Structure formats: structure tokens, C-alpha cells
């Protein structure tokens, strides 16, 4: 008899629907809950929070949701894999242990803590030994901005997750483990797949890619026939039902909203895709041109035929560095002549900024309702638009000009074109820009440092 493992997505990004993980463990049978919290930008945000408070730097939603669902998970034997640890996985693990104790589960929860992705303290040593950690996009060596680096994490794969599960962890918490590794880890643990069985590794990776963005694979943000997607007030998050041979079915719990069809899965497959023949992860390289999809019933899409190739010698590194400051100010102009008024206000604002001698790397003006999403492709606007939002953003290395810019928006209300509103939110906020620096590093520099600890509640 063919055994299959059901891996359920509980979170597609940090800030996703809080009820999703609860529904996933209560609305039907699952074996694993996979909670992806990290995007490129997320690590930067977590780093900012850790800078303000060293106890932070992880997804604080995660211990809270664990407190709600751990009793059910323990009762049903469901285990969870998550990169909620962000830039502080140990802090996250401790918060989960506290949550488990509060939920009355002392002695019943084993947290697998994965560390070793954080290479901030090792950067100087790595650079000194000839690792340039050059920006993959620009080729600049990291030494150019070394003094501005705030965090540096290597993307690690499924291996430590497998190890933690092998050691009996029911909650695995990691830092910068790849989104796909969170799904692949449980599969390798359950089926004992050979880590060099590249086709199976690729299949588990594709399964992970399909479910890593949550409901975006099951009817959320689905463009094709979007009006026909119903029940999104209770979206069914995707579940990968994987067989030992690497074939799998994407589905969702019965009675939930949304849809799982070939269109919903295909839209997710192409999301954030580069060269489809080489989807590179630390665990292997998947060939997306081999994926076969078939509708296999209501809300069931069968996925098969996936082939892959060997993993590469390099790991990607995500480096966050302090870049400068930005602020975005908005005002809303009403009919008649809404667009013309907004443009006049923009011209006045720019003359004032210039007269003040403020220097910016960039001033960007968008007119929401006219060109903010499609730029010039939107064509000339309807002359009778009911309203237009003027949206002006500035960016500079220094804080002073950005700070001054934030005081130049409100004055336009009484000193500029008429019929303006929408400023009740107050002055724009000055935001610090933490920029992203993608680099590569030899995996032999990282893997010996990756560590798995089992902590008991």
C-alpha cells in the first residue's frame, strides 16, 4: 500500500492570515505544518527590530499561534517546521517553549533549534580568507560596505531539519532555511530519500515551492477567472500530499474556500521564477520544464514527472546593510481636474525642495489612480477622474533632507492647489532603509557550523 505524507502550509509570509495554521490542523488530517515567514525584505525588518531590542528579531506571531494549536498538534501527532526564527532562532525557540508550558504541555514538546546560518561574526574572517561575498547583481565586493552590514545569513537546506525530526523534535525552528527546505525536510525524514536522489529532491522542492506562499496556490491572488473563486472569507491553504516516489497532489481541506486547479498551481509555479530549467536550492536544482500537472478531482491537482540535478557547491547568502533613509508622502485631490491639481502640487513641492537646497538620490512621483501600477502603459487618464492621490517618495543617504521633506507635504494643503484632502494620518514617517545584498559562499564554509539542538518544554 502506498503511503503518503500530508504537508500543510500554514503561513505564506510574515503577516499572513493568523487563522490559517489553526484551520490546517483542525479541519482535516495533516502530518506536518509548514510555516514560511521569510522573504528577502523580512530579514531586514527583523534585523531592525533586533537592533532595538536584542530579545526580538523573530516572527512573534509564531509562539502565539503555537500556544493556540500545540495541544491539537500534540494530540494528533502533527509536527511543524518553520523559519520563524529569523535572525534570532534561539529567542524564538525559547518563546515557543514558554508557550508550550503555558498550554500545559510541559514534557510533551521537543523543539529542534537549527543555528549556524548566521555568519555576521564570521564575515571578516571569510573576507580575509579570500571570500569576496560579491553582490550577485552588481559584482561589488562586500568590503565596499562592510562597515554598514547589519546581518548576514546563509540559506541552508533541509539537512538540519531532517536531523531534528530524526531526533524526535515536534517543532523545528530555524533561521534562514530555504522556504522549500521546510517541506523537503519532512519528506526526506519520512521516506528516507537519498539526499543525492536528485529527482526526488527536486520533486520535494517543487512541492515546497507550490505551498510556500500559502493560499496563493489555492485561489488567493488568482487572476484566471478570479470572479469564480468563492469562499475566500475562509481560504483553504494548500496541502501537498506526497508519495514515496516523489509524485504528489496539491489539495486543501474540504469545506474551505478558494480553489485548487491547474491554473492556481501554475500561477504559483511561475511566481518569482528565474530560469525554469534551474531552480537552484541548497539541496539540488529542480527543472521546472519537467513538471506535469493534471486535474485529479475537485480541488486536487496531481504533480508528477519532475527531474532535477545535483546541488551546487555554493550557498546563497542574504546580507542586510544600512543604506540610508526614505519617506513617502501622499495627498488626495478631488474632481474637478483632480490629476491636473495633483501635478501642479507636485511641481510646487519640487520647487520648494530645490529652493531649500535639499539633495536626494531620488524623488519619485506617482499618481495613484493614473499611473502608479502600470506607469505610462496605462495611457492618458479619464479627464473626469473623481480623485487622484499624489504620492511622492524621496531617498537619501543622510537623514536631514528626508526629515525636512516630511514637513513639506502638509503645507501644500493651504498653500497649493484646491480641493485637497487625505492628510489626516499626519506627517510621513522617515524610514531607515536596510538594503539587501545577495552573495554566494562556498558551502564547506557553512555546513560544519550548522547545529541542531533539542530543547524540551
Partner 1 sequence: MPVKKAAAGAPTESVQLVPLRYLAHARSGDKGDTANVGVIALEPEYWPVLLREVTRERVARHFGDMVSAVQRFELPNLRALNFLLHGALDGGGTLSLKTDAQGKVYSTALLRMEIPVSAPIAATLLSRHAP
- Contacting positions for partner 1 (CB under 8 A): 40-41, 44, 136-137, 221, 223-224, 263, 266-277, 288-293, 305, 323, 326, 328, 362, 364, 366, 368, 372-377, 391, 393-395, 433-436, 438
What would the grid cell of residue 212 be?
510556500
Question: Closest CB to partner 1 among 373 and 429?
Answer: 373
CB 303 within 8 A of CB 292: yes
Q: Provide the minimum distance between the beta carbon of 45 and partner 1 in the complex, in angstroms, as a whole number.
A: 9
Q: Provide the minimum distance between the beta carbon of 47 and partner 1 in the complex, in angstroms, as a whole number.
A: 11
CB 45 within 8 A of CB 34: no
Q: Provide the minimum distance between the beta carbon of 326 and partner 1 in the complex, in angstroms, as a whole number.
A: 6
Question: Closest CB to partner 1 among 93 and 250?
Answer: 250
> 281 burial class (0-12, 13-18, 19+ CB within 10 angstroms)?
buried
Q: Provide the minimum distance between the beta carbon of 41 and partner 1 in the complex, in angstroms, as a whole number.
A: 6
Q: Provide the minimum distance between the beta carbon of 6 and partner 1 in the complex, in angstroms, as a whole number.
A: 24
Question: Closest CB to partner 1 among 97 and 434?
Answer: 434
Distance CA 168, CA 79 (A): 10
The residues facing 131 across adjacent strands are none
What would the grid cell of residue 316 be?
546563497
The residues facing 249 across adjacent strands are 241, 302
CB 92 within 8 A of CB 171: no
Question: Closest CB to partner 1 among 102 and 277?
Answer: 277
Measured distance between the N- and C-terminal CA atoms of the chain, rounded to whole angstroms: 36
Q: Provide the minimum distance between the beta carbon of 79 and partner 1 in the complex, in angstroms, as a whole number.
A: 29
Q: Provide the minimum distance between the beta carbon of 425 and partner 1 in the complex, in angstroms, as a whole number.
A: 16
User: Any alpha helices (H) in 295-365, and if so which ranges?
Assistant: 338-355
Nearest to 85 by CA among 58, 48, 117: 58
Q: Provide the minimum distance between the beta carbon of 273 and partner 1 in the complex, in angstroms, as a whole number.
A: 5
Residue appearing with cell numbers 502638509:
410
Give 209's contacts (C-beta < 8 A, 6+ positions apart).
179, 180, 268, 269, 279, 286
Question: Closest CB to partner 1 among 162 and 207?
Answer: 207
Q: Provide the minimum distance between the beta carbon of 331 and partner 1 in the complex, in angstroms, as a whole number.
A: 15
Distance CA 392, CA 361 (A): 14
Question: Closest CB to partner 1 among 155 and 288?
Answer: 288
Question: Closest CB to partner 1 among 434 and 450?
Answer: 434
HSE-CB of 20 using CA atoms within 13 angstroms:
33
Question: Closest CB to partner 1 among 169 and 390?
Answer: 390
What would the grid cell of residue 388 be?
487622484
Question: Closest CB to partner 1 among 323 and 339?
Answer: 323
Nearest to 152 by CA among 375, 393, 437, 345: 437
Give 297's contacts (C-beta < 8 A, 6+ positions apart).
none
Distance CA 280, CA 314 (A): 10
Amino acid at each position: 500500500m502506498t503511503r503518503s505524507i500530508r504537508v500543510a502550509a500554514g503561513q505564506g509570509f510574515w503577516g499572513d492570515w493568523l487563522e490559517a495554521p489553526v484551520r490546517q490542523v483542525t479541519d482535516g488530517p495533516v502530518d506536518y505544518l509548514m510555516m514560511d515567514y521569510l522573504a528577502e525584505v523580512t530579514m531586514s525588518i527583523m534585523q531592525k527590530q533586533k537592533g532595538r531590542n536584542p530579545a526580538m528579531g523573530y516572527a512573534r506571531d509564531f509562539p502565539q499561534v503555537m500556544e493556540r494549536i500545540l495541544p491539537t498538534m500534540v494530540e494528533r501527532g502533527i509536527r511543524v517546521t518553520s523559519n520563524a526564527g529569523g535572525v534570532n532562532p534561539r529567542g524564538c525557540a525559547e518563546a515557543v517553549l514558554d508557550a508550550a508550558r503555558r498550554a500545559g504541555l510541559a514534557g510533551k514538546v521537543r523543539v529542534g533549534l537549527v543555528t549556524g546560518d548566521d555568519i555576521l561574526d564570521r564575515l571578516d574572517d571569510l573576507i580575509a580568507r579570500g571570500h569576496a561575498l560579491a553582490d550577485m547583481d552588481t559584482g561589488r565586493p562586500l568590503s565596499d560596505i562592510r562597515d554598514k552590514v547589519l546581518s548576514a545569513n546563509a540559506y541552508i537546506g533541509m539537512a538540519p531539519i531532517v536531523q531534528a525530526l530524526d531526533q524526535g523534535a515536534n517543532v523545528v525552528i530555524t533561521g534562514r532555511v530555504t522556504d522549500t527546505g521546510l517541506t523537503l525536510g519532512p519528506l526526506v525524514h519520512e521516506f528516507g530519500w537519498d539526499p543525492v536522489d536528485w529527482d526526488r529532491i527536486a520533486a520535494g522542492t517543487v512541492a515546497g515551492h507550490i505551498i510556500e506562499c500559502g493560499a496563493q496556490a489555492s485561489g488567493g491572488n488568482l487572476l484566471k477567472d478570479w470572479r469564480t473563486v468563492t469562499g475566500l472569507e475562509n481560504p483553504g491553504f494548500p496541502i501537498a500530499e506526497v508519495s514515496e516516489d516523489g509524485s504528489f497532489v496539491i489539495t486543501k481541506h474540504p469545506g474551505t474556500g478558494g480553489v485548487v486547479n491547474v491554473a492556481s498551481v501554475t500561477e504559483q509555479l511561475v511566481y518569482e521564477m528565474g530560469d525554469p530549467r534551474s531552480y537552484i536550492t541548497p539541496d539540488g536544482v529542480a527543472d521546472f520544464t519537467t513538471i506535469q500537472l493534471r486535474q485529479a478531482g475537485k480541488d486536487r491537482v496531481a504533480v508528477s514527472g519532475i527531474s532535477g540535478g545535483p546541488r551546487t557547491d555554493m550557498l546563497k547568502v542574504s546580507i542586510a546593510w544600512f543604506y540610508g533613509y526614505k519617506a513617502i508622502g501622499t495627498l488626495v485631490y478631488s474632481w474637478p481636474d483632480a490629476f491636473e491639481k495633483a501635478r501642479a502640487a507636485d511641481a510646487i513641492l519640487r520647487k520648494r525642495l530645490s529652493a531649500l537646497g535639499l539633495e536626494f538620490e531620488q524623488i519619485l512621483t506617482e499618481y495613484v489612480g493614473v499611473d502608479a501600477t502600470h506607469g505610462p502603459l496605462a495611457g492618458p487618464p479619464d479627464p473626469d477622474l473623481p480623485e487622484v492621490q499624489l504620492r511622492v517618495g524621496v531617498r537619501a543617504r543622510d537623514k536631514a533632507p528626508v526629515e525636512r521633506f516630511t514637513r513639506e507635504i502638509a503645507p501644500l494643503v493651504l498653500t497649493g492647489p484646491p480641493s485637497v484632502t487625505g492628510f489626516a494620518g499626519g506627517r510621513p514617517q522617515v524610514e531607515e532603509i536596510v538594503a539587501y545584498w545577495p552573495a554566494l559562499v562556498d558551502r564547506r564554509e557553512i555546513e560544519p557550523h550548522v547545529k541542531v539542538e533539542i530543547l524540551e518544554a
